[in-house]
């Protein structure tokens, strides 16, 4: 296709094709590298066997162990073959039932995902941040930019439940708190989502903050309501009202695109139509800090006892487990 006549006459229109070609080339390169490294390991192992060299055999076995992990990671990456899996991810976290504890829990989840983004080497960009009344946050929205960001994070969509001794309760009682996580793909610029001015209500207001130098003296924060769908997005992180509006429109375009996709898939519709309360019975994962320590994903019955590592961004076992489970369900169909 790239070699066809006239393809390069207007390269801007073919950006998506070039991006797909680059992504496919990277996957092929990774496979070739793995194949070459495997052949070198085999040669090293054969050499160790022929010469009865324990040191060489040990080195070969160590390299094979490393290669096995790389092959597993590559196999998981190949599963991210959805239309938007390769896109950047827009992540929103909202405190649910539980008052101040829930807002504190939302902040803990926010920190968990920031640590995960850092582990992945992705780029982070804050879009909106609404602090809690006494502690924590009411809601936060950010972008995670990197290869297959949406493909990895889409399995985090749902309600997350925390059980612990409340630090905000003087009687030291156990408290259950909830927060919801929503993830949608950032839409490439070349994909057009039609938004008419008459369908928008744009409000400006003063950005909230912790006080002092962070308090905005002008009405730079922007809230955009898409009237036909009642989708509301807002941004207050930038000092410029124009910049906040641009970022809010980017989020709105992504959510409208995802809204249309959900209409075509009843399962996704049920997951994202916001009919479920952020509370009891709707959680996808529970994080228990008292009376024992355990994180359990209810979709795949995976339990991890190292809660500290999970809250420090170690959520890959859950992401990979859900991904494998969904792929296996697809095969059975």
CA distance linking residue 41 with residue 46, whole number of Å? 9
- Model pLDDT, residue 212: 43
- Model pLDDT, residue 73: 78
CA distance linking residue 169 with residue 49, whole number of Å? 65
Query: Looking at the domain covering 85-333, what would its CATH class be?
Result: alpha beta
Predicted confidence (pLDDT) per residue in 205-215, tens digit: 887 765 444 45
DSSP bridge partners of 83: none
- Model pLDDT, residue 268: 40
Is the distance from CB of 124 to CB of 142 less than 8 angstroms?
Answer: yes
Tokens matching residue 175: 């408290």
Nearest residue to 105 via CA among 317, 287, 298, 303? 287
Residues 6+ apart with CB under 8 A from 38: 67
- Model pLDDT, residue 269: 46
Q: pLDDT tens, position by position, for the chain (333 residues)?
A: 556 666 566 655 566 666 677 777 877 888 899 899 999 999 998 998 888 889 988 998 899 888 988 888 788 888 888 888 989 999 999 999 778 999 999 999 999 999 999 999 999 999 999 999 899 999 999 999 998 999 999 999 999 999 999 999 878 789 999 999 999 998 765 556 778 899 999 999 887 765 444 455 678 899 999 999 999 999 988 888 999 999 999 999 889 888 877 765 554 444 445 445 555 567 999 999 999 999 999 999 999 999 999 999 999 999 999 988 887 776 555
Tokens matching residue 85: 């899996």
Is the distance from CB of 140 to CB of 103 less than 8 angstroms?
Answer: no
DSSP labels, 95-136: E-SSHHHHHHHHHHHHHHHHHHHHHHT-EEEEEEEEE-SSSS
Strand intervals (E) in the chain: 89-95, 123-131, 137-145, 158-165, 174-185, 200-205, 221-226, 231-235, 283-288, 294-297, 302-304
Tokens matching residue 211: 């006080």
Residues 6+ apart with CB under 8 A from 42: none
Helices 15-50, 54-79: inter-axial angle, 10-degree rounding: 160
Please give the backbone phi and psi of residue 297, each rounded to the nearest 5 degrees, phi first. -95, 115
Q: Examine residue 212 and say whether the peptide bond preceding it is cis (omega within 30 degrees of 0).
A: no
């Amino acid at each position: 296709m790239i070699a066809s006549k006239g393809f390069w006459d207007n390269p801007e229109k073919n950006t998506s094709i070039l991006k797909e070609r680059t992504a496919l080339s990277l996957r092929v390169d990774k496979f070739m590298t793995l194949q070459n490294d495997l052949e070198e390991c085999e040669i090293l192992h054969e050499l160790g066997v022929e010469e009865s060299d324990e040191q060489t055999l040990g080195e070969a076995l160590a390299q094979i162990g490393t290669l096995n992990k790389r092959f597993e990671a590559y196999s998981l990456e190949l599963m991210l073959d959805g239309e938007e899996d390769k896109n950047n991810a827009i992540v929103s976290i909202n405190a649910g039932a539980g008052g101040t504890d829930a807002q504190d829990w939302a902040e803990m989840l926010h920190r968990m995902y920031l640590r995960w983004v850092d582990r992945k080497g992705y780029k982070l960009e804050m879009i909106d941040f609404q602090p809690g009344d006494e502690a924590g946050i009411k809601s936060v929205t950010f972008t995670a930019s990197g290869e297959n960001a949406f493909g990895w994070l889409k399995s985090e969509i749902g309600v997350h439940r925390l059980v612990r001794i409340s630090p905000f309760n003087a009687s030291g009682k156990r408290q259950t708190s909830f927060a919801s996580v929503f993830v949608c793909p950032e839409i490439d610029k070349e994909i057009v989502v039609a938004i008419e001015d008459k369908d928008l209500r744009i409000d400006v207001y003063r950005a909230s903050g912790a006080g002092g130098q962070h308090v905005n003296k002008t009405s730079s924060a922007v809230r955009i309501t898409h009237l036909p769908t009642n989708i509301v997005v807002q941004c207050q992180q930038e000092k410029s009202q124009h910049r906040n509006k641009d970022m809010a429109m980017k989020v709105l375009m992504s959510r409208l695109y995802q809204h249309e996709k959900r209409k075509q898939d009843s399962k996704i519709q049920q997951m994202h139509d916001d009919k479920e309360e952020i509370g009891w019975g709707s959680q996808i994962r529970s994080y228990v800090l008292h009376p024992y320590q355990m994180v359990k994903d209810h979709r795949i019955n995976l339990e991890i006892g190292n809660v500290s590592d999970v809250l420090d961004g170690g959520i890959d076992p859950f992401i990979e487990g859900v991904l494998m489970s969904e792929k296996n369900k697809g095969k059975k169909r």
